[in-house]
Amino acid sequence: MTRQPTVLDVAEIAGVSRQTVSNVLNSPHIVRPDTRERVEEAIKQLGYRPHASARRLRTRKSSTIGIRLDPVTNGISGSVLDRFLHALTEQADAFGLRVLLFTARDPDDEIAQFERLLDGADVDGFVLTSTTYEDPRTEWLLEHDAPFVTFGRPWGAADVYDPRHRWVDVDGHHGVAEATRGMLELGVSHVAYLGWPPPSGTGDERRLGWRDTMLAAPGLGLREPDLDALEIACEDGVEQGSTAVRALLARGVRVDAVVCASDSLALGALMVLGTSVPIVGYDNTPVAAAVKLSSVEQPLEQAAGAALELFRAVGPRGDSFDPDGSANDPDHRLLRPRVFWR
């Protein structure tokens, strides 16, 4: 690479001191207009650009967000977080932010990485995905006053709307309720639910979306015990889904339709029930599209944009924050998914 012009080159061409060039870059108002013009002309002539590390050192800001790359799972829904990361990286530029990746074996390791990246001023803060009950990571970040935004609510927190913990999330209750209503509109009554074992922040909420809708449906006449018989939980996975559906059928339960907590489970159900029984999955993964499964789609582009907006607004409340209609309050965004019917 040819040598980049330095601040000294600029100073020489402009016939000023290094300090003057530095002043033009950092405090132009203290420099005489004619001198400033000469320096600016030299900067332009040389194509000089202030070194990014120098700029960051000066501002003590890296304009960089750290994001942990989740471990690759064998599930087919892992693609959702990858899509969120894509959307976030794509939009970061417009916010003047960059994305630095790291990996971690477990939450403790992730916390060690937080510390290292903050200490080195490598990042200004973090966007976290996959929040859990009593998440030790957000506790650590709050204790250390480190800027962060989570994609996911602080499950189990005393105050989910704590202004110190900014988050963006997708309303899974709403998505599954809409899927369940869509099934009931087909004229069927026994809509089964295939979900995950509690406790699971996202899982419990999706399950309630189905349950509340079934209980509220006019004329269905299903009561709590009927619903208990219509639902089954298993770990996420295609085979697990198939096994669970077989177990549900073995109970002698009538199954008119199935709403699932994930596309993996939905694919498992599809492999047992075939296309005779309508099935809705969750996350609208490429696999759902490939096998023509209806599925709940999360608005990931919108979620990424909201996360960046909240991240930029972290710290003392500034003027930069511009809440839009979808906000519940300035620090939290609960977005609505929609069912992609096929």
Query: x/- site string to a second copy, residues 112 to 141, per CB under 8 A?
Result: ------xxxxx-------------------
Q: Closest approach of Cβ 115 to a second copy, in Å? A: 10
Query: x/- site string to a second copy, residues 140 to 169, per CB under 8 A?
Result: ----xxx-----------------------
Please provide the DSSP assignment of 153-165 as one string: --TT-S-TT-TTS
Interface residue with a second copy, options 9, 46, 98, 330 (CB under 8 A)? 98
Calpha distance 124→65 (Å, rounded): 6
Q: Closest approach of Cβ 321 to a second copy, in Å? A: 21
Calpha distance 7→2 (Å, rounded): 16
Q: Closest approach of Cβ 213 to a second copy, in Å? A: 28
Calpha distance 221→245 (Å, rounded): 23
Enumerate residues 235-274 that contact a second copy by CB under 8 A: 238, 264, 267
Smaller CB distance to a second copy: residue 255 or 300?
300
Calpha distance 309→58 (Å, rounded): 24
Length reported for the chain: 342
Contact status: 4 vs a second copy (CB under 8 A)? yes
Interface residue with a second copy, options 8, 30, 216, 289 (CB under 8 A)? 289
Interface residue with a second copy, options 36, 38, 83, 207 (CB under 8 A)? 83
Interface residue with a second copy, options 31, 36, 38, 75 (CB under 8 A)? 75
Interface residue with a second copy, options 12, 95, 102, 249 (CB under 8 A)? 102
Structure tokens at 28: 């132009």
Enumerate residues 20-49 that contact a second copy by CB under 8 A: 49
> Given the rule CB under 8 A, which of 1-9, 174-182, 210-218, 253-261 is the region that contacts a second copy?
1-9
Calpha distance 65→122 (Å, rounded): 9
Which of 204, 153, 189 is CA-nearest to residue 278? Answer: 189
> Given the rule CB under 8 A, which of 96-104, 157-165, 178-186, 211-219 is the region that contacts a second copy?
96-104
| C-alpha Rg value of the chain to the nearest Å | 26
Contact status: 276 vs a second copy (CB under 8 A)? no
Integer CA distances (angstroms), 112 to 108, 122, 136, 321, in order: 6, 14, 12, 31
Alpha-helical (H) ranges within the chain are 7-14, 18-26, 33-46, 52-59, 79-92, 107-119, 136-143, 172-184, 201-216, 224-230, 238-250, 263-273, 286-290, 300-313
The residues binding a second copy (CB under 8 A) are 1-2, 4, 49, 51-54, 56-57, 62, 64, 69, 71-76, 78-79, 82-83, 85-86, 89-90, 93, 98-103, 118-122, 144-146, 238, 264, 267, 286-287, 289-291
